[in-house]
């Protein structure tokens, strides 16, 4: 139960909507590595709540506008 749940995000779209921000710029602003941003965009990594808030803050959005929790049926 819950093992198949995923956290999706719209980081890639939001980066392009914010002046085509690069992955490195976002990583620097959010305080993480570019590798983490790449993995997040590929939905291969679920961030901590702290990092999720930091990324949302970079885009000036609420956390649920950036990250979506999808529970398996």
Partner 1 sequence: METTTLWAILTAGTTLLVAGLILFYMYSERKRNRTRGGMTGDDGQPVRLPLTMLQVRALWALGIGTATLALIVAVFLDRGPENYYAQDDMRILVYLIAFGGAAAYGLVHLVTGLRSRGRVKDERDIAVLHWAPTVQVTGMTLTLAMWAIGLTESYWSVGQLPIAYPILIFLSTLIVGGLFQALGILIGYRKF
The smaller minimum CB distance to partner 1, of residues 3 and 20, is found at 20
Q: 61-70 in b/e burial notation, b at 16+ Cβ within 10 A?
A: eeeeebbeee
Q: According to the binding rule CB under 8 A, does residue 45 interact with partner 1?
A: yes
When binding is defined by CB under 8 A, the residue of 20, 60, 71, 72 that contacts partner 1 is: 20
Binder of partner 1 out of 17, 31, 62, 63 (CB under 8 A)? 31
Angle in degrees, CA 67, 16, 57, rounded to 5 = 45
Q: Measure the CA–CA gap between 18 and 73, rounded to whole angstroms.
A: 34
Nearer to partner 1, 44 or 73 (CB): 44
Q: Which stretch binds partner 1 (CB under 8 A): 2-10, 28-36, 61-69?
A: 28-36
């Amino acid at each position: 139960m819950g093992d198949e749940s995923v956290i999706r995000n719209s980081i890639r779209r939001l980066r392009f909507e914010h002046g085509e921000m690069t992955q490195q710029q976002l990583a620097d602003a959010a305080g993480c590595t570019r590798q983490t941003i790449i993995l997040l965009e590929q939905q291969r990594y679920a961030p901590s709540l702290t990092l999720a808030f930091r990324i949302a803050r970079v885009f000036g959005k609420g956390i649920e506008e950036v990250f979506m929790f999808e529970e398996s049926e």
